[in-house]
Structures are given as C-alpha cells and as structure tokens.
Amino acid sequence: MVLFLLLFTFAVPSYQEHQFHACSNDCNETCSILLHTSLEICGSPNNTYCKTQRHMYNECRSILKILHDYEELDDCPPSSLEYSVLHSHPCREKRSQNLKKDAGVVAAKSCIARRSDCLKDYACSMRLTDYRRTCREKKRKEACLADDHSSCLKSIAKLEGYGLFNCTCPMRKKKTLDRCIHIFNRLANNTCLVDAPYYVFSLSMEFKGGTFNDLADFIGLNGISDGSCTAAFRNCHRNSECRARLDRVFTTCSPCSSREKCLNSIKMFVSSLDVQVRRPLLFCDCPNKADRKCLFAKNILTPSCAKVTKPKPIGCEKLVDDCEKMEGCGKTLESLNEFCGDDDSSVRRCSIEKCRDAIEKAMGTLLMTNCTCYNRGHSDVLSRCVRARKRLFGKSTCKELAFSLGRVNGSTVAPPQGQVVSNECQQYIASKVPPYMSVPKYVRIYRVSNCGDLCICHSNGSLSCKTLHCSRVSKDKKCQMSDDRSYDSGTSFTDSIRGQCKCIQAETVCARPRNFTTPGSGLFFHLGLSVKERDLLGDDIYVDAYSIMDKLVTIINRDGPEKCRLKVLHTMPSNFVYSIKPREEECLRRVRFLLDAINQRKPIILMDAELSLIKIGEIRRITHRTPPVRSVDRFPPERQNVDSNSDSNTSNTLLLLVTSIGYICNYRLFPD
C-alpha cells in the first residue's frame, strides 16, 4: 500500500477536536504530517479499540512505529495528545482475531464516491475547481506546473477536510477500477501535493527586485541595530573584501540563474575570508522575527537558490546517498553529526568551535539542500527518509549553542543582575532564564529523552551534557494508591489527605506530606518533589529546602524589593512546606504566580535542574477560631495560665473549684 495518504493532513486536520501540544512545535514537517495522518488513518487514541480501515491497518502501524522514533516528541508530557498517539494508541496492539467482522471498521470510500459527494456540495465543488486550476501538473514528466506554489498550497488546505486525498479504489471490475484510478491520479496522486509544500517552505525571506547596493540602502549602513544580523551586515559592508564576496553571493543567487554558481559563491565567501570577518554574519541572529532588515541580511548566505532542487524535490534518503558518494561531502556530514548532533552516549561534551567549523564546511555544498519526505512510497523508504532528515537537519543543543554567537555579539540578551557572563556557553544559558534569576550551574535541556539532558558550562566555554533516561525509572506507568485506586502517568488528581497530586512515571507526587499538621493559622506553601528524578540527577546536585527557598523568593519578588518571605516549616525528600510572610493579599498574588509556573511546567521551572524537581504545589490558608469564654472563667486570662510549680496558682485553682461548687449548691461561701 502506497503511503499517498501522508499528504498535507497537517494543513486542515480532519479531527478538529484534537489539539496537539506545544511540545511538537520543534517537529519537522514530516513529523507533523505523520502526527496528523495518524489521526486520519488510525483514528483517535482515545478509542477503546482500533477503528482503522482493515486494508490500512498495516500502514497505520507503520506510521505509529516511525513516530515512536522521533526524538522531538520525547519531551511531550503524558497528558498531551502526542504522548497518547505514541504510547497508548489502540492500533499499536495487534488486532484481535475475536472481533466481529465489521466491528469498529470504517467502511472504505472509493475515489468515485468521494468525488461524487464533493460535486454535490457547492463549497467543495468550488474548491475542487480552484484546486485543478492552481495545481496543474504534467503526468508524463511528473512535474508540477503551478504558476504560484503558494496559491496551490492554499487550495490544497481548503480541500483537505473533504477526504479526497485519502480515497481508495477497492473495486474489482476493470472498467470501474480504471475510472477510479484515473480520479485518484488527478486528485490524490497529484505531483503538486509534494512540490507545493516543498517550494513554499524552502523559500527564504529575501530582498528582490534590486541590486546589492539597493539592499544596503534598505538595511541602512548607519543607525542603531535591532539585531545581530543587521550589525554583521554593516560590519561586512565596511570591509572591502567582505563586501565584494557578499555582493558576489547576492548577484549569483538572486535571481537564481544557476544553483551551482550560487553554491560556489557561498563556498568562496566562507573559504576566502578570515574567521573574525565571516562568522558574525554566518552565525547571526534576529531576535525580532518581524524585522525584515535583519532577516534580509541573515538570508543572504542561505538563499532559496541554494536550498531547492528543480524540477523536482529531492528525498532526504537520496540526498544522503548522493552526499556520501561525493568526495568530501560524506566526511562533512560525519563531522556535523559528530560535533553538532546529539548522540546516544550517556555523557558527551560539546565543543562550540568544532561544531562551527563543521557548519562552515557544509556551507556551499549539497548539504545546504532542503529535502522532503512527502509521499516517499513504502513505509521502509519513509523510515529511511525520516532518519536521513534527522541526520541532515536534526536539532541539537550543541548546534543551538553554536549559533549563540549572534546573541553574544549582538547583545540581544542581558546578563542576569549582578552577574558576569564569562563565555558563550553561559550566555546561552542566560538567554534561557529571566534576567532577575541567577544563571544556574546545572540546567536541564529537554531535547533527547523525557527527562532531558543535565548540562553544565565549563570555564573554557564548552558544554557537557548527560542524558537522563527516565525509562529506567519504571516500566509500569501507573500509580497505585492505598485504596486500590490507580492513575495513568500524567494524571492529576486530588487526595483527601495529601491534597493536589500527580502521577509521574509510576511515582505519586503530592503537595502535602504524610502525617504533617500545620502549626496554627496562616498561609502555607506546600511543594511536592519527585524522589526518583532526584536520584536520577545523581550526586552532582544537592537539593535542600533552603537552597530551593532562595530561588523561590527571587521569583516571588521578581519585580521589586523583597517584601514577601518564605520560612521553612517542614522538609523531607518528597515534600517541602513553607510559611508565607507577611499574610497579605499582595504576597498571596505573587506566590500564586509562582504556583502557576510550577503546576503549568513553565520554562523558568523546567530549565533549572533544582527547581525542575518540583512537580506540584498548593497554597493553603488556615484560620483557627478562638473558643468562647465560659461563665466560670471569672479570672483574667493571665490568671488562667496555671503553673504547677507555683503555690499561688495552686491556691487560685482550689478557690475557683470551691466557688464553682458553691454556685452549684446555691450556697455562698463568702456572704456579702
């Protein structure tokens, strides 16, 4: 079965009620397609049994298996839809032979029926006409003849929800089958379904319709720079050799007359200039993604001409094969994977300089080419393509750190208050935390596994990371409670004794500790920590209630003087309890901000290795009522505090007892 169904389901998903989590934002377009296609073919992960069509069952399982290999999805929380697709989808299990023949099977709808239904619907009919007009193709040459790929892409997205791109031809009669295949080829096997997204997503924001001098006038050679790329362009323009080489790149790549000449000009720019001259523009950054001047300057060295192949897009697996056959290209790819990639070793060290050297060697080569995994045919080919794309364009901490040169030189990130940032590694870490927070010694970067990497910056600017394997914690993902209740991993619930709780990798984390009674009335801040993750971090990190308290107070008083304080009341490996002082509404509001950051797993908590152990929090306000004074209490309060060692207090107690008995017997011991 050909995986033609992996076509643009991400544009307008059919399952609108399912919303993907922000954790899949780093997922590339192939991964995005597979995620949405899994819902289209396999159905919802919330189904009690697999409801995919029988003839698509094997393809469904192949998609789920490939998705499971995507490291970009490893940091998705258990409560997310992505996690359910990967780990709890009913189609991951082998189909039961005991099901009835038609139980849970969606009837296959042929391309003839789908097209007929579309023509009966006015909106669908108009969109189908627009699709045929904007997405013209030439079958014999397998070429998309669309005049505007963006318009073609929009028409595909508008037509997606009608099921025309995942129709089938299950009939046996030759005449009907031929007619169905003809409709299928025109609708679901259109070359533009692959070409349109490739060319649209490969486009860079480039300055067009002018010369290099026009670009320089548009960017401006004077004035304050809002981004490092603008400053790097101005510095390059002041250097005669750099200006000449950059002019050559712009002239040969825009407009694109020859891709080979464009790549050669980029290679000459890198090889002929000194490191101090070329690197600021190669590794620059645009903090404001709407700054056209900065983006124009940034994309001069990464133009569309160098990234796209014509007349057809190239598959990622073919791009890697072609690169390995070329002299020097294969070694460059190995260097990129070695110095810039995230390998599977338990401890690895990232050298920023070596990674930058590898990136520079790839400039002007075949490795600048964008590739695609759309419609890669058999699932084995698709799997190869996905892995090849990961080798070429996979994100990594080291690669992101290599491009931190733009943030350092452009001063787009202010160092934390009262701290000196000595190297680029620390500057990278500082860019991840708010300016009012201290740069933590150990940070967690969520890139490879569910628990991420534990990283530390060294004095020479290198970064060492250790992968934290959460899967070693427990194979059982459910939490068993004492009253026989069980909860799936990622589930939040409330316990009558321990308050707010959460199930995390078979570990129950609750805000309130066991067998603890709050002392008196007041405002109390309860925190629940993961003991298993604490052990996972090792002996390098020592976490106690006081070190955590200092960081929490900094967040609470983030925008002013230290008005609100915390006091340690109780500490144990799984829980910290603090009292909040003073008991004012302003402090309560500030602590609630911190509570939201903890319970919603915001970056300010996740990044810091110590704070990341806090999984759930709870604020409690306790008020004790004063008991009413009884009529027999005739003495002042200070007289009621009896000291057993005091004779006078003993006499007072006896006097009180006798007086009480006299009143009861209506007898006056002391007459008026």
Query: Which amino acid appears at position 70 of this protein?
Result: Y
H-helix or E-strand containing 578? strand 575-581
Q: Which residues, at least 6 apart from 667, have a Cβ–Cβ distance to it below 8 Å?
A: none
Q: Which residues, at least 6 apart from 203, have a Cβ–Cβ distance to it below 8 Å?
A: 304
For residues 48-71, average pLDDT: 63
pLDDT score for 95: 42
**Banded pLDDT at 645 (limits 50, 70, 90):** very low
pLDDT score for 449: 52
Crossing angle of helices 329-340/316-325, nearest 10°? 120
- 646 versus 277: which is more confidently predicted? 277
* Pick among 3.40.630, 3.40.50, 3.30.70, 3.30.390: CATH of 507-622: 3.30.70
Q: Which residues, at least 6 apart from 122, have a Cβ–Cβ distance to it below 8 Å?
A: none
pLDDT score for 434: 83
Comparing 460-464, 566-570, 633-637, which segment has the lowest mean pLDDT? 633-637
pLDDT value at 41 more than 70: no
For residues 447-461, average pLDDT: 74
Which part of the chain is CATH 3.30.70? 507-622
pLDDT value at 93 more than 50: yes
- Pick from 511, 459, 493, 467: which is nearest to 616 by CA? 511
pLDDT score for 672: 37
pLDDT value at 580 more than 70: yes
Residue 188 in 3-state DSSP?
Answer: coil
pLDDT value at 661 more than 60: no
pLDDT score for 421: 62
**Banded pLDDT at 671 (limits 50, 70, 90):** very low
Sort strands 575-581 and 565-572 into parallel, antiparallel or unpaired. antiparallel
pLDDT score for 406: 52
Quickly count: other Cβ atoms within 10 Å of residue 33's Cβ: 24
Token output for 632: 């027999």
- 485 versus 271: which is more confidently predicted? 271
User: Average pLDDT over the chain, rounded to whole?
Assistant: 76
Q: Which residues of 374-388 are buried (b: 16+ CB within 10 A; e: fewer)?
A: bbbeebeebbbbbbb
Q: Which residues of 482-521 are buried (b: 16+ CB within 10 A; e: fewer)?
A: eeeeebebbeeeebeebbbbbbbbbbbbbbbbeeeebeee
- 530 versus 636: which is more confidently predicted? 530
For residues 196-202, average pLDDT: 82
pLDDT value at 15 more than 50: no
pLDDT score for 375: 65
pLDDT score for 27: 57
For residues 302-308, average pLDDT: 90
pLDDT score for 528: 95
For residues 548-556, average pLDDT: 93
**Banded pLDDT at 55 (limits 50, 70, 90):** very low
For residues 492-515, average pLDDT: 89
pLDDT value at 37 more than 80: no
pLDDT score for 53: 56
H-helix or E-strand containing 501? strand 499-504
pLDDT value at 411 more than 60: no
pLDDT score for 30: 53
Token output for 422: 């000595």
For residues 101-124, average pLDDT: 71
pTM (two decimals): 0.64
Query: Which amino acid appears at position 24 of this protein?
Result: S
Alpha helical stretches, state H, 140-191: 149-159, 174-187
- 465 versus 412: which is more confidently predicted? 465
Q: For residue 494, what are the β-bridge partners? A: 500
**Banded pLDDT at 669 (limits 50, 70, 90):** very low
Residue 105 in 3-state DSSP?
Answer: coil
- 45 versus 149: which is more confidently predicted? 149
- 626 versus 447: which is more confidently predicted? 447
The alpha carbons of the chain give a radius of gyration, in whole angstroms, of: 33
Q: Which residues of 128-159 are buried (b: 16+ CB within 10 A; e: fewer)?
A: bebbeebbbbeeeeebbebeebebbbbbbbbb
- Pick from 268, 241, 270, 253: which is nearest to 207 by CA? 253
Phi-psi region of 484 (alpha: psi -120 to 50; beta: other; left: phi over 0): left
pLDDT score for 577: 95
Backbone angles phi, psi at 532, to 5 degrees: -70, -40
Backbone angles phi, psi at 567, to 5 degrees: -130, 130
For residues 562-581, average pLDDT: 92
pLDDT (tens digit per residue) in 233-252 = 999 999 999 999 999 999 99
- 47 versus 606: which is more confidently predicted? 606
H-helix or E-strand containing 243? helix 240-253
Share above pLDDT 90 across residues of the chain, in percent, rounded to a whole number: 23
DSSP string, 269-323: HHHHS-HHHHHHHHT---SSTT-HHHHHHHTTSS-HHHH--SSS--BHHHHHHHH
Q: For residue 467, what are the β-bridge partners? A: 453
Rounded to 5°, angle at Cα 26 from 20 and 27 = 70
Q: For residue 507, what are the β-bridge partners? A: 504
Rounded CA gap, 463 and 458, in Å? 6
- 403 versus 34: which is more confidently predicted? 403
Residue whose tokens read 């038609």: 102
**Banded pLDDT at 412 (limits 50, 70, 90):** very low
pLDDT score for 526: 95
Rounded CA gap, 357 and 352, in Å? 9
Residue whose tokens read 């589930």: 491
Yes or no: say if 204 and 303 are a contact pair by the CB < 8 Å rule: yes
DSSP single-letter state for residue 148: -
Q: Which residues of 299-316 are buried (b: 16+ CB within 10 A; e: fewer)?
A: bbbbbbbbbbbeeebbbb
pLDDT (tens digit per residue) in 325-383 = 988 899 999 988 888 876 555 556 778 888 899 999 999 999 999 888 876 665 677 77
pLDDT (tens digit per residue) in 146-198 = 888 889 988 888 887 787 887 888 888 888 888 998 888 888 888 888 888 88
pLDDT value at 594 more than 90: yes
pLDDT score for 539: 76
pLDDT score for 382: 77
**Maximum Cα interatomic distance, the chain, rounded to a whole number of Å:** 126
- 645 versus 622: which is more confidently predicted? 622
